[in-house]
Amino acid sequence: MTTAPTVEATATVTEDLLAAVPATTAAGPRVEVRTAGGWTPVCGLSDLLPGRGVAALLPDGGQLAVFQDRAGRTYAVGNRDPFTGAYVLSRGLLGSAGGRPFVVSPLLKQRFDLATGRCLDDESVGVPVYPVRTC
């Protein structure tokens, strides 16, 4: 009979995974996001394709959607679609309106501003936004 992992084991696994992200990847710099615990590495810059997203898991179990636009700017927002509750924003496509980049949810097609997190189709709804840096 197997037992569920303890909280300590989960924390250790997460710390081990984060420690495994090198300061720079073989192909170049890494992308980090600012969370309550400081700057957290999430992927290599070369892992991002302009116009497409990548999902990342945070140490607290939260999920991010990380994007690079066609101009080379990186963005990070919460991965959870607030309209459906599904963690799918990283699968959305990027676009822009009035020079402002957004991601389109792949489920119900709402657009979320990547700089502010605000839904462009319902301003009462938004997603968290995280500061991003490459180093």
**Lowest pLDDT segment from 6-10, 89-93, 123-127:** 6-10
pLDDT band at 8 (very low <50, low <70, confident <90, very high): very low
Q: Are 87 and 63 in contact (CB under 8 A)?
A: yes
Encode burial over 20-33: b for 16+ CB neighbours within 10 A, e otherwise: ebeeebeeeebbbb
Residue 77 structure tokens: 């927002």
pLDDT mean across residues, the chain: 84
pLDDT tens column, 45-83: 999 999 999 999 999 999 999 999 989 999 999 999 999
Alpha helices in 20-56 (DSSP H): none
Residue reference for tokens 């968290």: 128
Predicted confidence at residue 19, as pLDDT, reads 43
Whether residue 18 is predicted with pLDDT greater than 70 in this model: the reply is no
Q: 25 pLDDT exceeds 80?
A: no
More confident residue, 6 or 98: 98
Is the pLDDT confidence value at 128 over 80?
A: yes
How sure is the predictor about 28, in pLDDT bands with cuts at 50, 70 and 90? confident
As a whole-number percent, the residues of the chain with pLDDT over 90 amount to: 73
Q: Which of 11, 53, 60 is nearest to 35 (CA)?
A: 60
Query: Regarding predicted confidence, which is higher, 85 or 2?
Result: 85
State whether residue 102 is helix, strand or coil.
Answer: strand
Burial 81-98, CB ≥16 within 10 A → b, else e? bbeeeebbbbbbebeeee
Strand, helix or coil for residue 92: coil
